[in-house]
Amino acid sequence: MSIEMIGVGKRFGSFEALKSVDIAFADGEFVAIFGPSGCGKTTLLRLLAGFEQPDAGEIYMNGALAAKPGFALPPEKRRIGMVFQAFALWPHMNVTEHIRFPIRHHRATPQSIRIRENERIGEVLSMTGLNGLGGRMPHELSGGQKQRVALARAVAAEPSLLLMDEPLSSLDAMLRQEMRREIQSLHRQTGTAVLYVTHDQSEALAMADRIVVMKDGRIEQAGPPEEIYLRPQSEFVAKFVSRANLVRGRWEGEAFIPDGSGGDVEWKGGSVADCFKCRGIYPVRPEQLRLSPPGGGPGIAGEVANVQFQGKEFHYHIQVEQHLWEVYSPLRFRLNERVVVNISE
């Protein structure tokens, strides 16, 4: 399903949750909607689901008007599936009955699925790794199995759009990793467009074809994960997505001379956005910086203010003049040790 949102706004009383949002989603695309709490990402999802009406703008699905002020196509006519943060399973239904329900009761279920209901249930059980569990009740399932049932129910009627609202946030870290793979596999098998709301950077970067970063009801930046991570277009995106250090200094054309370097250090900045250059800032991620002992080469003098061991590397906070920089390095330095910081070539 292709989607286009044109000038979409939504208010709740005096609070403006969405502010003139313009964006399009392609058929079959996996898009992560990413941002801090209260940025409008769940409101955007609810508008697409048909649970809310916009106060401004229009929403089109497959070229047809789905919502505008005073009108919203009801959810049951949008051919969508939804997966929530809470599993929202019905305690009186077993796994098979959960999958059967949307096939029988969703108005938009294709006839080709209705006439082969049992075959479709078997396909979905296999697709979601639930073979052999069709007769189990929700209280007999683990957390990961419950999430698989929620996914199975959402895709059973072959929706054109799958909306997912922080579906993995209630799972532990190892199970989240496993379920990421399951969701990616499900997307590849079904070809359904997926809009995935999350506040987890690693989920957004790992799973999506495209990331939409939101702030205060607006879209701050949208693009492929690599672009969002490597070429942020605002200070907010640089700090929120990639935990970038915003190093101050001066720009001389495409070259950046950081403060505290004595003019002896020059960083290449051809891909840095103009919004940083006009403010004398260079965004640099923790893994882009390298540490060396004093005398180990050119760089900027600093002192280790904090250190955390993370297995393959150490995570440091380095005090550089009045600023605290975050640096990831495989080298071991001790608290209060003097170091030299430079960018990795």
Six-digit token string for 226: 């690599």
Question: At residue 323, what is the residue type?
Answer: H
- Bridge partners of 343, per DSSP, are 289
Query: Which residue intervals of the chain bear CATH 3.40.50.300?
Result: 3-227
What is the per-residue pLDDT for 109? 85
Distances (CA, A) of 168 to 85, 106, 148, 253: 7, 25, 11, 45
What is the Cα–Cα distance from 248 to 300, expressed in whole angstroms?
Answer: 12
Q: What share of the chain is helix, strand, coil (3-state, %, to 5)?
A: 30, 35, 35
What is the per-residue pLDDT for 77? 87
- Write down the residue that tokens 């946030």 correspond to: 169
- Write down the residue that tokens 């949208």 correspond to: 222
The candidate with the shortest Cα–Cα distance to 89, out of 32, 8, 205, 170, is 170
Six-digit token string for 173: 């870290």
- Print pLDDT tens along the chain (345 aa): 899 999 999 999 999 999 999 999 999 999 999 999 999 999 999 999 999 999 999 999 999 999 999 999 998 888 899 998 888 899 999 999 999 999 998 887 889 999 999 999 999 999 899 999 999 999 999 988 999 999 999 999 989 999 999 988 878 888 888 888 889 988 998 889 999 999 888 899 999 999 999 999 999 999 999 999 989 999 999 999 878 999 999 999 899 999 988 888 999 988 899 999 999 999 999 999 999 999 878 899 999 999 999 999 999 999 998 999 999 999 999 999 999 999 987
Q: What are phi and psi of 50, to 5 degrees?
A: 95, 10
What is the Cα–Cα distance from 102 to 113, expressed in whole angstroms?
Answer: 11
Per the CB < 8 A criterion, the answer to whether 258 and 217 are in contact is no
What is the per-residue pLDDT for 85? 81
Strands (E), 35-115: 56-61, 64-68, 71-72, 80-83
What is the Cα–Cα distance from 16 to 213, expressed in whole angstroms?
Answer: 17
What is the Cα–Cα distance from 323 to 249, expressed in whole angstroms?
Answer: 12
Question: At residue 290, what is the residue type?
Answer: R
What is the per-residue pLDDT for 1? 86
pTM of this structure: 0.88
Query: Which residue intervals of the chain bear CATH 2.40.50.140?
Result: 243-343
Domain 243-343 has CATH 2.40.50.140: yes
Q: Quick one: CATH architecture of 3-227?
A: 3-Layer(aba) Sandwich (3.40)
The count of C-alpha atoms lying within 13 angstroms of the C-alpha of 18, restricted to the half-sphere facing its C-beta, is 26
3-state secondary structure labels for all residues of 258-306: ECCCCCCCCEECCCCCHHHHCCCEEEECHHHEEEECCCCCCCEEEEEEE
Per the CB < 8 A criterion, the answer to whether 70 and 79 are in contact is no
